[in-house]
Homo-oligomer: A and B are copies of this chain.
Amino acid sequence: MVAARREQILRAATRVFAEKGFSRATTREVAREAGISEGTIYNYFEDKYALLMATMDVLNETERRAGDFEASLAENFEDFVEAYLHHRMAVIWDNREVFRVVLSEMLVNARLRERYMREVVEPTMEIGEENFRERIKQGKARATDVALATRASAAAVLGLLVLGLLGDEEVGARWDEAAGVLSGMLLHGLEKSGGGRHA
């Protein structure tokens, strides 16, 4: 089965890329990790770069399926945020090694960066903004700069992922709890109610 063999190679590639980085990784090692010969890789992928693209497509796919979650838009805001973060962060963590590869490469590869931003991040961010505006209209969320607040929220998740990928033990060991703490922070802030200037 062609798809299975492709999958096998892709998984091996992701493992190797995650360990060495895309450029330092060798096709020889990908082959060894996949238990096949080097030439076989090229029966399933155009070239080494195509392996990276295919790795990225995994995230694309994940993201697309994540869209299903929007249905719950109508529910209670607080519950929604917590459930959404839990769900989303679980999926992200499952794919963390893919993120490791793609993030690392995107940071220093303009073409990859532009493609991923256009195809994945921007659409996602727009849905988030729309969602946010709706909540404000419903009187559930504080009026604020929607674009930046949306990005700050996403950034918190992304930042936790990066911390986890960098080996922060607290984040790595307690990823599930992090979703709860993060939703608390995003909803209510860190300040003790009534303790600030605004009180």
Residues of A within 8 A of B (CB): 17-24, 76-79, 100-101, 103-110, 113-114, 116-117, 121, 125, 132, 139-142, 144-145, 147-149, 151-160, 162-163, 165-168, 170-171, 174, 177-178, 181-182, 184-193, 195-198
Quick one: which of A132, A157, A158 has the most chain B CB within 10 A? A158
What residue of chain B has the Cβ atom nearest to residue A182's Cβ? B152
In Å, the complex CA distance between A68 and B149 comes to: 29
- The CA of A163 and the CA of B107, in the complex, are separated in Å by 10
B21 close to A108 (CB less than 8 A): yes
Query: How many monomers of this protein are in the complex?
Result: 4
* Contact assessment for B104 and A149 in the assembled complex, using a CB-CB cutoff below 8 Å: no
Interface of A is mostly: helix
Given A140-B191, A184-B144, A190-B144, A151-B166 contact (CB < 8 Å) = no
* B140 pairs with A192, CB closer than 8 A: yes
In the assembled complex, the Cα of A167 lies from the Cα of B115 at a distance in Å of: 11
**What's the minimum C-beta distance from A186 to chain B, rounded to whole angstroms?**
6
